Structure 1
């Protein structure tokens, strides 16, 4: 028993699923979910403090705006207002070059000085950006007395030693933080990969799970600032963030709808590229296209031609005579087909036109600094060699900047690219696609397509940075100043739809059973091993503990481990590292890489020599196919019509419901407003919304609302109410919020848009393809979305599932799904 004169300061409410915590000393005590209980030492420290952190947030003085841009002032004041209201998440949109990091350091300093923040975590996108951020803290001058931030507070990059007690700011990547929480080692190179690259490889990856780690308690940070909020932050790494009892603040130049949803739609400042160009914080850009016949139309290699076959994984080449014509599309170039003359044509055209069409007022002596985005490391190497040859220059004129050259060499090359007049062209894949500033850059050339719109914007952003005239002329002497940059589009990147998925599947036409048999008989091709690993991961997710135990008993190890070894064992960079270690050399030869590959494959595939294991896997795969009853419950009303008064009452209640739930109507918000453990599919979320409609005080059935609109606005209502609960609600929301002028069955809207979409396509689909497209259309009409996973269920699995879909549409499948999801529903 506790008397009223001595109330408990800390209150916890817990079930076996969740824990809620409330500090009664806060200005407006509010319960919040926490991953674990706070440590007793922490509670003791809090009790000794005169005020709580949330109380001290209320006492932050007005911002000293001297030396700050308007966008930075808006960002700091907006964020502080959000923190004062104890909003758990906030998002700042600031264009590339607008000073996101400087703004963050300013905010952290104010929280440290005026609110006594215990510790802040500053999450960066990749390791080299962490080192850049540390320099920003070291160079930041506090406004009161001119001292540097690091003279007042300790700032450190997270390493194996962990977090020191006296550290005020910890800088880390999310990968490094996870390794510390989980106790798993992380190699240095993994720290150098951007989250946008991780996004492109999360198709089959499960979100990272974390357990409580007493050495890094949930209260380790009061505030987490996430610099560049890519998709993997709230997919793959979400639980790592939600582990901490901390405010989450996102910084990004390119917010997506899902990003905004993750931060509870609390965007405290918006500063776009257009705003930055107007304020002369960024430069604008022009687009110049260089398109070749092979890029647009592909080509045909006739039968009887002797061609080189190049293994991308081992880089081994062999000669082969084609026994049939080989036709390829532009999309296959530098993927399954290498066309050296295509690169030569593009670079030669670039050289011929750069001083006549693109930068006509230059002397022609200094090529504008150019960054070229390649498809992969091999492609980058071919581009580098072609640029040197076409321009008649040496190695110092054009260099490759990728992970393969090594971290130290790459960072030195980046510095050289910024400052040296000699290095005019850099060729990269992903390494400097985000965050890295090359201010003198005037040309960004895309020789690869990019599916992610956010990543594409980041890549474009490399050219937007302004630079003083004096600095600029040190590296480009014949230029008066940087007023723009030019995006050179060689592949249609400015016109293509952007999707966000990448599959590990390379053998869609081969069944899992046959793939296992081929591997058991000696197939060691990297595509086969990777495809099988991909499928086994998907199967393992569906198995129960007993089924996993059956496989482990026969195989000698878990199925998930077998699958992971197949995928990691065929990773190109992993093989290079293995060859480096095996042969004790920094630059292994193609033969050594091949030997490294061969030396491990026999061990990787050993489990599949057991026919009993293959039979068990195939049996379990078939057993785990599911049939889903997609019919939803219906709320029936036997009345044929309503009086005017009753219809108006229904509409009034419906509109009140819309008003009361306006922040929940967006399916993205419904998903991301829930803690990690409680997320559901959007279909389930909207179904839950329907259940809320039926509860007091609304007491509405969606079909009743539909009939009320039919009674009052008959001219705007077309067709009978739809049978599906989900689509019924979507149609009602679109109509009542003004997104649609007509209330019509959702499936009819989808059918009409589907016909328009088919008519707009430049190709004639085959009958079997049209059958599958109609199935995809029906899935969207019934469930408001189509995902790749849906191919594993009725009606798709009855006709071959995902394998059949990939056989019919090939590499275009993901793009078609993405396009139909947007076109049919928008």
Structure 2
């Protein structure tokens, strides 16, 4: 479906560089240009990395608009992994205007309920799950040329690396065991693939290559497009601190999926840490103690909203109840809907779940939402100001995505930073973890697959590296799996009526077909070999399905967490400052770093000795350098407040100058206002000049530093950029900017 003259269509991008009608921020324009350059250079897989909350969907809309306008592509598939993300994208298409027209009125766009595009369709929004059914599981799969461009949203989700397969596996095993559905959808279509993600993990890079453009969270914070986080608040209970130890032979109760308590005897010693809480061990008092502590920080009657991440749906239900009970003591008139659960299983109706998410975003209630992972990615709710971790995750990517729910600006609710409440020691576990970690899935070969392989005569002809046939390898795996199921079934039949009933029926089937009861089946199959085993399974057509039901019954017993009704209490609550025990230690370490480092960091030297020489690029590099030393601007503000009882938004350079030259710590906005007042008093400015002085001051408050790059973006760019400002100030713009820089750090400020 590619255009008939790609060279001519590629030239369109060079002939039409302007994007003013798209209303993009500077970095979004840069991202679009980077993708277009990659396409012109013939790149087929393209990765774009932009921090959560910086407008990936807006960038994707602009990109699709230009790709279709250029006629380089005729139809774009916008691929999402969840219905809620597709609904959100379609909403954005409806809200986005280009030259006065909504995006969805400019092009023929098909949505989630449309199975196939029409000839006139330019953009089709679909979930991966729907494409699997229509493309990979259909008797008439889609033509490979139906889409010539695929834009993948949240590309870090769903992808796996392919496992290297043996000759026999390549020949006989289903590729579904080894390749993710996403990857197979991408490979099916002859199309350019463009992936968007906030967290480019190694497996994403393996598919799409290195990002052609990055816009990081830290740069977005510096640019004023996202907000920073406060130091995490760690809540520790006694049981979380000490752990819980249970001895072999101890009588315990387990909580089954139906919510019933069943008796059990521990076969081994078990030692539980906080990461196991609400997974393998349920301690109601732990949840109660944490929820009680949260009432000191959260206000369910206010505008600032909270998202709580739990382990399971059952855990989420417990936490909703505990939060309601705890807050009722403080707010007796609190509405029931102030605290609710929203998970994929909260209601099987996907539209109803989506409506709950919309309520959380747009209405006063709910104020606190408890979830498992439904809201980890792609859901934009700017008023979320608090993230509570009652679930310990091992993935740094998932952790960053969860935090990303709170990074968006929302001045209407007084949001200047966001808080993290760490109740499961997640911060210390993941702060040093590298984001770029491989995710390799080792497939679990199904029992039916192994049975199919030993009944296929061709598998006996394929010889593996050790000289044995592929059938013999499959038979060995089949026997091992059966032996494990049999052992678990025998152990659990006295504990479960359902398991016992299954085993008695399997005994009858095995005696009829193999001459042994179920307990002796694995040994007999091992003894007789793959040919004989194949004949037995041919006599038992429903045997594997029955085994799968048995496994389900056994797993329900094995996975039921231990329910322990013991006391618990909060023993410590503190803000975390990396390696430093107190906020004072943190500030002293920062001061020492500043005082010994000017000669190694040119931007630091500029801040200290000549602020007017500091550039935006230098500021970003300096901020990133301090971040790597774990001295974030928000943490400095928090530490100063904790030690001086003064909440001062001095910005990073204010803290640097305090540490280096002894400047008083004052709000940066106040310093800018002082500089503006001095500059206005020095000349008889025209009304237009006064108006632009006010705009420059506002831009300084947002950007901290004004240099030529700033004038190439936003309102400055749209009104004529630096040349226009030079004319407005009679070619004295640079002098005005220098005065701002000098007066901001005036001793009188």
Report the TM-score range of the alignment, normalised by the length of the smaller protein: 0.5 to 0.7
Decide which of 63, 67, 81 is 1:125's aligned counterpart.
Answer: 81
Shift of 1:170: 1.0
- Are residues 341 and 253 of structure 1, via their aligned partners in 2, closer, same or farther at CA, if it must alter by over 3 Å? same
- Are residues 603 and 88 of structure 1, via their aligned partners in 2, closer, same or farther at CA, if it must alter by over 3 Å? farther
Q: Residue in 2 aligned with 1:9?
A: none
Aligned counterparts, 1:410-559, within 5 A: 410-469=353-412, 472=413, 481-497=414-430, 536=447, 545-546=456-457
Measured in 1, the distance between the counterparts of 2:317 and 2:69 equals 50
Q: Residue in 1 aligned with 2:345?
A: 404
8 A Cα contact 1:63 1:77, kept in partner:
no
Q: Residue in 1 aligned with 2:194?
A: 249
Decide which of 501, 513, 522 is 1:614's aligned counterpart.
Answer: 522
Q: Residue in 2 aligned with 1:692?
A: none
> Which range is displaced more, 108-117 or 398-407?
108-117
Decide which of 251, 276, 280 is 1:332's aligned counterpart.
Answer: 276
Measured in 2, the distance between the counterparts of 1:176 and 1:262 equals 22
The CA RMSD over aligned residues, in Å, is 4.4
Residue aligned with 1:414, SS: helix
8 A Cα contact 1:537 1:563, kept in partner:
no
- Are residues 93 and 410 of structure 1, via their aligned partners in 2, closer, same or farther at CA, if it must alter by over 3 Å? same
Q: Does 1:227 align with 2:153?
A: yes
8 A Cα contact 1:334 1:375, kept in partner:
yes
8 A Cα contact 2:343 2:374, kept in partner:
yes
Shift of 1:240: 2.0
Please list the CA deviations of residues 179-213 of structure 1 after superposition, one character each: whole Å capped at 9, or x if unmatched. 111235xxxxxxxxxxxxxxxxxxxxxxxxxxxx7
Shift of 1:308: 3.2
Residue aligned with 1:248, SS: strand
Residue aligned with 1:167, SS: coil
Measured in 1, the distance between the counterparts of 2:287 and 2:521 equals 47
Please list the CA deviations of residues 345-402 of structure 1 after superposition, one character each: whole Å capped at 9, or x if unmatched. 11112223x17xxxxxx9x963841111001111111111110111114531211111
Shift of 1:411: 2.1
Q: Residue in 2 aligned with 1:283?
A: 227
Shift of 1:77: 0.7
Shift of 1:419: 2.6
Aligned counterparts, 1:36-75, within 5 A: 51-53=4-6, 55-60=8-13, 61-66=16-21, 67-75=23-31
- Are residues 608 and 534 of structure 1, via their aligned partners in 2, closer, same or farther at CA, if it must alter by over 3 Å? farther
- Are residues 82 and 296 of structure 1, via their aligned partners in 2, closer, same or farther at CA, if it must alter by over 3 Å? same
Measured in 2, the distance between the counterparts of 1:601 and 1:369 equals 51
Please list the CA deviations of residues 400-435 of structure 1 after superposition, one character each: whole Å capped at 9, or x if unmatched. 111222123322322222233342211100111110
8 A Cα contact 1:129 1:436, kept in partner:
yes
Shift of 1:299: 1.9
- Are residues 379 and 264 of structure 1, via their aligned partners in 2, closer, same or farther at CA, if it must alter by over 3 Å? same
Structure number with greater CO (CA < 8 Å, separation at least 6) is 2
8 A Cα contact 1:504 1:534, kept in partner:
no
Measured in 2, the distance between the counterparts of 1:617 and 1:160 equals 50
> Gapped runs of 5+ residues in structure 1?
1-41, 185-212, 356-361, 473-480, 506-532, 554-558, 568-593, 624-826
8 A Cα contact 2:86 2:126, kept in partner:
yes
- Are residues 340 and 132 of structure 1, via their aligned partners in 2, closer, same or farther at CA, if it must alter by over 3 Å? same
Measured in 2, the distance between the counterparts of 1:534 and 1:483 equals 50
Q: Does 1:297 align with 2:242?
A: yes
Aligned counterparts, 1:621-636, within 5 A: none
Measured in 2, the distance between the counterparts of 1:300 and 1:135 equals 51
Measured in 1, the distance between the counterparts of 2:128 and 2:25 equals 29
Q: Residue in 2 aligned with 1:381?
A: 317
8 A Cα contact 1:225 1:250, kept in partner:
yes
Residue aligned with 2:409, SS: coil
Measured in 2, the distance between the counterparts of 1:215 and 1:338 equals 47
- Are residues 163 and 215 of structure 1, via their aligned partners in 2, closer, same or farther at CA, if it must alter by over 3 Å? farther
Measured in 2, the distance between the counterparts of 1:179 and 1:318 equals 40
Residue aligned with 1:444, SS: strand
Measured in 1, the distance between the counterparts of 2:114 and 2:503 equals 32
Measured in 2, the distance between the counterparts of 1:503 and 1:603 equals 35
- Are residues 400 and 86 of structure 1, via their aligned partners in 2, closer, same or farther at CA, if it must alter by over 3 Å? same
Measured in 1, the distance between the counterparts of 2:18 and 2:259 equals 58
Q: Residue in 1 aligned with 2:717?
A: none
8 A Cα contact 1:160 1:180, kept in partner:
no
Residue aligned with 2:226, SS: coil
Shift of 1:228: 1.1
Residue aligned with 1:494, SS: helix
Decide which of 228, 250, 253 is 1:308's aligned counterpart.
Answer: 253
> Gapped runs of 5+ residues in structure 2?
162-179, 329-333, 462-470, 472-476, 486-495, 532-749
Residue aligned with 1:488, SS: strand
Shift of 1:320: 5.8
Measured in 2, the distance between the counterparts of 1:345 and 1:504 equals 39
- Are residues 491 and 603 of structure 1, via their aligned partners in 2, closer, same or farther at CA, if it must alter by over 3 Å? farther
- Are residues 616 and 306 of structure 1, via their aligned partners in 2, closer, same or farther at CA, if it must alter by over 3 Å? closer
Q: Residue in 1 aligned with 2:103?
A: 149
Q: Does 1:272 align with 2:216?
A: yes
Q: Does 1:181 align with 2:135?
A: yes
Shift of 1:156: 1.2
Shift of 1:233: 2.8
TM-score of the two chains, using structure 1 as the length reference:
0.51
Size of the aligned set, in residue pairs, is 470
- Are residues 345 and 160 of structure 1, via their aligned partners in 2, closer, same or farther at CA, if it must alter by over 3 Å? same
Please list the CA deviations of residues 674-704 of structure 1 after superposition, one character each: whole Å capped at 9, or x if unmatched. xxxxxxxxxxxxxxxxxxxxxxxxxxxxxxx
Aligned counterparts, 1:135-146, within 5 A: 135-143=91-99, 146=100
8 A Cα contact 2:148 2:190, kept in partner:
yes
Q: Residue in 2 aligned with 1:166?
A: 120
Measured in 2, the distance between the counterparts of 1:282 and 1:621 equals 64
